[in-house]
Amino acid sequence: MRMPMCEACGDSGNRDMAVEHVVVRSNDRVCEGVGLMVLEAPATASKVRPGQFVHLRIASDREFMLRRPFSVHRAHGGTLEILYQVLGRGTRAMSLTQREDRMDLIGPLGHGWDIPDGLTHALLVAGGLGAAPLGMLAEELARRGVAATVVMGAPTGERLVARDLFERVARRVEACTDDGSAGEKGFVTVATHRLLDEGGFDMVYACGPEVMAKAVAGQAFEAGVACQVSLERLMACGIGVCLSCVVATVNGQKRACVDGPVFDAREVSWDVSEIPPRH
């Protein structure tokens, strides 16, 4: 079923979105508190672009009237992969769903990553579950012959989610962990500072805690490299109507669900932008 568009707000985004009834193909534990759900969703999978998200209705009972937004981690063979962290009731219920369970989603939604023509070497920066919207991007860059270096950070080595995927498609992957159990001990921003200093990048793509995204955006600016960030906001409608997801920008307030979640980092008013509670 295609969604009607809002005449009043004149949204340009989300033109392709529709409600799709989907079936769970698999739902596996990745590490403590993180799962990977594969959904049979051929209509959405055929249209989704890297960085876009879906608004998932986890169960049909009243408790889950409000949909939850999730980035599409990968899309292939008519399926969508959702990499999720268990935080509250909705994601806990997600972790209990099984093969053949049914749910519905609205998607694909939002403005994803821009991949300009002529890009040669991109730096992808993933903080924790920030790896989720970068998976499909890394695959698309490889498909287009664009080199990618990935810097990923997590509290421990076990929590470096999607590392296998990045190692398969990227030229180089650097890991940073809080406890030093894998890669370099410390924050991703130490590695990104060093890499940007070395040079050779013409785009930075970042997703993770907002303090990280802000710091990486600052480093990219200093290095004279364009930077895009994917920002999370609490979302109610997901289609541009309720204004629960506003992001402060130099061009006024924008809605993360239709104007984002990916923004040009130079456009974000970092000091007034709300920093939401985040994994």
> Which residues in this chain contact ligand FES in the complex, by CB under 6 A?
235-238, 240-245, 255, 257
- Looking at the Cβ atoms of 43 and 126, the one nearer to ligand FAD is 126
Asked if residue 55 binds ligand FAD (CB under 6 A), the reply is no
- Looking at the Cβ atoms of 96 and 242, the one nearer to ligand FES is 242
How many residues sit close enough to ligand FAD to count as binding (CB under 6 A)?
Answer: 23
- Looking at the Cβ atoms of 73 and 254, the one nearer to ligand FES is 254
Which of 148, 225, 235, 262: binder of ligand FAD (CB under 6 A)? Answer: 235
Q: How far apart are CA 131 and CA 134, in angstroms?
A: 5
Residue 273 CB, nearest approach to ligand FES (Å): 15
Asked if residue 87 binds ligand FAD (CB under 6 A), the reply is yes
Q: Token match 């698999």: residue?
A: 26
Residue 191 CB, nearest approach to ligand FAD (Å): 23
Asked if residue 84 binds ligand FAD (CB under 6 A), the reply is yes
Asked if residue 239 binds ligand FAD (CB under 6 A), the reply is no
Which of 91, 149, 228, 249: binder of ligand FAD (CB under 6 A)? Answer: 91
- Please report the sign of the dihedral spanned by the C-alpha atoms of residue 97, residue 99, residue 103, residue 108: positive
Pull the structure tokens for residue 34: 């993180």
Q: How far apart are CA 16 and CA 45, in angstroms?
A: 11
Residue 133 CB, nearest approach to ligand FAD (Å): 6
Asked if residue 277 binds ligand FAD (CB under 6 A), the reply is yes
Choose from ligand FAD, ligand FES, none: what does 243 bind? Cβ within 5-8 Å by kind.
ligand FES
Which of 14, 27, 85, 177: binder of ligand FAD (CB under 6 A)? Answer: 85
Asked if residue 71 binds ligand FAD (CB under 6 A), the reply is yes
Choose from ligand FAD, ligand FES, none: what does 277 bind? Cβ within 5-8 Å by kind.
ligand FAD
Which of 22, 80, 83, 103: binder of ligand FAD (CB under 6 A)? Answer: 83
Choose from ligand FAD, ligand FES, none: what does 83 bind? Cβ within 5-8 Å by kind.
ligand FAD
Whats the size of the chain, residue-wise? 279
Q: How far apart are CA 157 and CA 160, in angstroms?
A: 5
Residues of this chain that interact with ligand FAD (CB under 6 A) are 53, 68-71, 83-85, 87-91, 129, 132, 232-235, 261, 276-278
